[in-house]
Amino acid sequence: MENIIIEVKELNTYFDESHILKDVYLDIPRNAVTSLIGPSGCGKSTFLRTLNRMNDVIPTFKKEGTILLDGKEIYDPDVDVVDLRKRVGMVFQKPNPFPKSIFENVAYGLRVHGNNDKKDLERRVEASLKEAALWDEVKDKLDDSAMGLSGGQQQRLCIARTIAVEPEVILMDEPCSALDPISTTKIEDLIHKLKNEFTIIIVTHNMQQATRVSKYTAFFLHGEIVEKGLTDKIFIEPEDKRTEDYITGRFG
Amino acid sequence: MARNWEEFLVEKVLLLAAISSIIIILLIIGFVIQQGLPAMEQVGPLNFIFGMDWSPSYDIYGVFPMIVGSLGMMALALIFAVPLSIFGAIFLAEVAPKTMRRILKPTIQTLAGIPSVIYGFFGLIVLVPFMRIHFGGSGFSMLTASIILTVMVLPTILSISEDALRSIPLEYKEASLALGATHWQTIKNVIFPAALPGIVTGIILGMGRAIGETMAVIMVAGNTPIIPGSILEPARALTSNIALEMGYALGLHYNALFATGIVLLMMIIVLLVVTNYINYKRKVTVGGGYL
Ligand SMILES: Nc1ncnc2c1ncn2[C@@H]1O[C@H](COP(=O)(O)OP(=O)(O)OP(=O)(O)O)[C@@H](O)[C@H]1O
Ligand SMILES: [Mg+2]
């Protein structure tokens, strides 16, 4: 059995009365990439945002069930959301750098966690940008606005910003859907590199991407997990007819 | 063919509307200058602007005390109103539950529509006696006027700031929260800075309202044309100067009131240019697309 970092059991979520996720069970292995696939509206984003409690800001959101991070329930009253989100970072679909300089974008997470040591910040910002494969492109313009970067660069900046706070898990919600093929390749290469250090959960609509980047895959349909397991297994010989139909593009 | 005519007509009508509103404003400004300039010339512009004495019966016209009065009241009002409205706006935009916001926002906007006499009347009946009892003196003072002005500019600054805060894309907020920032850190470091240009616009409008306000100020400021020794002493604003004496002014006195109007206009223009410049400078120095 692999080393499991996140254990989801009997998860049900609601927005008001509408039941979104239904009896979801899923184990996320540590230091590997897990893909979430499924047709639009099936609850992939909702699932992802439940893992770092981003849904907490939506007043109508309700959840039942268990989500354990390293064996500890993340919805327990004594869990500090700030600490949780430090451990479980998130990269969004649309690149969303702050309207601040490139440097300040990466330093932001460190600053809000109380790091104000200039030398240390500089060191960590550089390391994060290098790790996100962006350093060479921006090293001479760290004080320029992040809004001046291309979409692909902005997304890598968002990844740099996320890894700067040294999370254990990185959630990525369709991180390439707004990017061109070259930028997409760069992000995929990056994911390959990062998986040794981080646990990555990625939502994608691109089947090839799922097979390229992930070791594990879970297929969502109407809020339920239809099939989960090794990516190779799911894409080569799916057990469920609905999975096969989806990955071969017969519906979705 | 008919369609082209329609396009043409709509364009011209819009152009006419735009031009005529500009022309009307220019005509008014031209009239004020034409009426005021003779007094400026006769008294001498420097004597007029920096003169400390306003005694129409001796044909002595110096508006400096009123400049101090207007600027002082405005500055005090902004000192009170800006923090109050910014915190109020943050509360409404970020903290208040939906239903509360739905009640408070229109209420505050209604406050902006109340005629200034009502505020003045309230000040006269409630605030002036209160100030007299607690701070001594007559109760009519620069401070009293500033408090009334604070209440009057608050809704303007607050509701514009609130709009600015709410217009910040949710993505910024989520990005900040996802990095483990608290709600307050997110407001302070991301939402507020991004909304600042809009908030400054609100402050400029509030400033305009404060310096242009006449009725409410007349009713509570005491209106002595002397530089007040402290904020608890009476003061006169430029606007009040015109309104108080317009009814009986003749000859040079009459022109001097228009000249007061010129000074007021110039002051407003200077304030607008300075604040716009600061706002522009901020945007430029922090890099294109920064805010
Ligand atoms: N804030 C919300 N309030 C109410 N319903 C919501 C909210 N967010 C999502 N939903 C609903 O939850 C369901 C699942 O949405 P979700 O965004 O998780 O789907 P998704 O699988 O990520 O889809 P996509 O692939 O298009 O991103 C949808 O029916 C959606 O309408
Ligand atoms: Mg989604």
What are the pLDDT tens digits along chain B (291 aa)?
667 888 999 999 999 999 999 999 999 999 999 999 999 999 999 999 999 999 999 999 999 999 999 999 999 999 999 999 999 999 999 999 989 999 999 999 899 889 999 999 999 999 999 999 999 889 999 999 999 999 999 999 999 999 999 999 999 999 999 999 999 999 999 999 999 988 998 998 899 999 999 999 999 999 999 999 999 999 999 999 999 999 999 999 999 999 999 999 999 999 888 888 877 776 654 433 333
What CATH number does residue A37 fall under? Answer: 3.40.50.300
| B42 within domain boundaries | no
Domain interval for residue A63: 4-95+170-247
Structurally, chain B folds into a number of domains equal to 1
| A155 within domain boundaries | no
What CATH number does residue B166 fall under? Answer: 1.10.3720.10
| B226 within domain boundaries | yes
| A228 within domain boundaries | yes
Domain interval for residue B98: 49-288
B179:A161 CB<8 A: yes
Could you tell me if B132 and B220 are in contact, meaning their C-beta atoms sit under 8 angstroms apart? no
Q: What residues in B contact A147, CB-CB < 8 Å?
A: 288-290
Cα of A209 from ligand 1 centre, angstroms: 22
A99:B290 CB<8 A: yes
Give phi and psi for A37, each to the nearest 5: -125, 165
Structurally, chain A folds into a number of domains equal to 1
| A198 within domain boundaries | yes
Ligand 1 close to Cβ of residue A88 (< 6 A): no
Ligand 1 close to Cβ of residue A43 (< 6 A): yes
| A13 within domain boundaries | yes
Query: Which of A109, A144, A148 comes nearest B180 by C-beta?
Result: A109
| A232 within domain boundaries | yes
| A149 within domain boundaries | no
| B185 within domain boundaries | yes
ipTM value, please give it: 0.92
| B29 within domain boundaries | no
CB count within 10 Å of CB B110 equals: 10
What whole-number distance in Å separates Cα of residue A222 and Cα of residue A224?
Answer: 6
| A202 within domain boundaries | yes
| B174 within domain boundaries | yes
| B167 within domain boundaries | yes
DSSP H or E segment with residue B167:
none
| A184 within domain boundaries | yes
What whole-number distance in Å separates Cα of residue A244 and Cα of residue A242?
Answer: 5
Tell me whether residue A123 is exposed, middle or buried, using C-beta atoms within 10 angstroms of its C-beta: 0 to 12, 13 to 18, 19 or more.
exposed
